[in-house]
Structures are given as C-alpha cells and as structure tokens.
Amino acid sequence: MNDDIISYSSEKKGIVTSKNTSDDLFSEIVSLRPTSFKEYIGQNDTVETLKIAIQAAKMRNESLEHILLHGPPGLGKTTISHIIADEMEKNLIVTSGPALEKGGDLIGILTNLGDGDIFFIDEIHRIPKIVEEFLYPAMEDFVIDFIFDKGIHARSHRYRLKQFVLVGATTRVGLLSSPLRDRFGIFRTLDFYSIEQLVIIIKRSADILNTIISENGASELAKRSRGTPRIANRLLKRVRDYSQVKSHGNVTRQSVQASLELEGIDSLGLTSLDRHYLKTIIDFYMGGPVGIEAIAATLQEETDTLVDVVEPFLLKMGMVLRTSSGRKASQKAYQHLKLKT
C-alpha cells in the first residue's frame, strides 16, 4: 500500500496527502521585506558595518557581537534582524520588550537558543527592570543564575547558555539603562530615507504586488511617505486600491494625490494628527514653548504616541523646535498651514 495518506474532501474536490506540494510551499501573505542586504535599500553605513561584521564572524567561525539598532518606527530594524539571521544561516527568535513580563518568560527563550541563533527583542527599552537584570550575565558570559528555595535553604545554580546573538531594537535609546546599553558590541542609528531611496523601494514593492506605477506616481508617493519605508508600502496599498477602482489599475500622480487626499495626508506627508499637533501649539499656546504633557492632554493622545510617532518627522522637517522650556512651532509650520505668525 502507498505510504501517502490520501483522503477526499466533499467541499473541495482535490487530494490531501501527507507530503508537501507546491501549494503548501506557496505563501498566502505577500511579504514586501527584502531578504538580503543586496535587496535592502538605504542605511548604507549601517549595512556596510553589518556586512563586514558578518563576513568576519564567518571567517573566524564565531558568533556576531550583540547588536543594538536605534531609530524611529518603520525604518527597517526588524527587517535587518531577519536579514542578519539569513546571512548567518541561523534561526531567528522574535519577541518584544512588553511581552517579557517575568524572568521566567526570558529564561524559557534563552535556554532554548542554539549556537549562533539570533534573538531579536523589539522595543527593548520596555523590558521590566527585574527581567532586564537576567540579560546582563546572559549577554556577557552566556550564563543564567537560578535561585532555588528561600531563606536559609536558598541555593544558586548557574546554567550555561549557548552563544547566541542578541539584536535589540528601540525607538527611545535614552530609556535604556547604561549596563544594558554598554553590553552591545555594535550600535547603529537608522535615519529617515531620502525621496530617491523611497522611489526605489516603492517600485520594488509595486512589482511584488503586480501593480503598474508611473515614475511621477512613485515620486509623488515618496514625497508623502514621511521618509519611512513602512509608511510608503502602506500608502502604496491604499493607492493601489483607489487606482484599481478609479483609474483602471494604473497608479499615476493624479491617483496618488486623490487617494491620499481621502486619507488626510497632505503634500509633505503630514497626517491629520500632525496638523492638529501643530495647530494646538499655535492656537492654544501662542506658538509655544509648551510642554509635551500639555499638548497630549489637549489632543487627548498618549505622550508616547506624540514622542515616538508624531515628533520625529516634524523635528526632521524643522516644523517643531525642542527647547529647554518645551515645544515651539517654527516659521515653516506657519507657512505650511498657511497661518500668520
């Protein structure tokens, strides 16, 4: 009898076997992430540093040093961690700081890591302090100390870990404690992308999505993407939907403008929240300076949302100034909103 287990479905006419078929290997989710440094666009200095470190580690048959990536959301920190794991031909284990609530959560992951495995922690600055202290000996000496029992019966046991590589990603590096930050061997900051780089990313993503986009359409979309690949890819999908319904599937400058106008995104990529943030400083606080807590209370938004999502791009664009006494709207903000100073 054939070893394959074959059964027939009454709802779907086909054969189910125990072996993988071409349909099983096909991903239902189309990923726009690059899978190698050759496909990765931008962050040239960071990529070159990592390529050298990876090549040197392979030549010595060693693991990489621990890596800390810092920068605003959506610039490719998670993507880089996937590429590092692929380049090193090692497993990637992904978690986030808020998910590690107890020491046992972290210990369970660390004790199951293999030699050279890549352990990626997103938003590493949000790890609880009591959990973070388990990382110190794990990163430096690749050991964990367990305490059994309590009082006079307490005893310690040291468990030796495999030599793993910790890749940490954070949007707020200043919140990392010095003992943790100093244990990373490679520390790189990711910056916003230029319009030219975003055009290349948008064209690549359009090809993957089987979408036709004009040069002017890609350029217009890049200008409104806040220098961030994640936002560019998200907006591309919205523009694709609009163009498919309104302009026969072809993404042009006109369809980009019309689509993003519906999304509330203006010519510089500012969202309605960005504009409300600026108008709050100008209208309620006479242009500033004003504290971030006061702005958050007026907008009824979380302070972290404004600091991590709204402010980085506005600061880069020169529309907001951070002073010792608070935030202040710049002349450029007045001009963009067409308001008088």
| Catalytic residue ranges | 77-78, 122, 171, 230
User: Looking at beta carbons, which pairs linking 99-106 to residues 24 or more positions away fall under 8 Å?
Assistant: 100/127, 100/128, 100/131, 101/128, 101/131, 102/131, 103/130, 103/131, 103/134, 105/131, 106/131, 106/134, 106/135
Query: Which residue is listed with tokens 């709204």?
Result: 310
Q: Is the CB of residue 181 less than 8 Å from the CB of residue 69?
A: no
Rounded CA separation 165/186 (Å):
11
H-helix or E-strand containing 121?
strand 118-122
CA-based radius of gyration for the chain: 25
Helices (H) and strands (E) in the chain, counts: 15, 13
93, 119 contact by CB (below 8 A): yes
User: What does the alpha-carbon distance between residue 186 and residue 183 come to, in Å, rounded to a whole number?
Assistant: 9
136: three-class secondary structure by DSSP: helix
Long-range contacts of 233-237 (CB under 8 A, 24+ apart): 233/32, 233/201, 233/202, 233/205, 235/260, 235/263, 235/265, 236/202, 236/205, 236/206, 236/209, 236/211, 237/209
| Among 257, 262, 270, CA closest to 225 | 270
3-state secondary structure of 72: coil
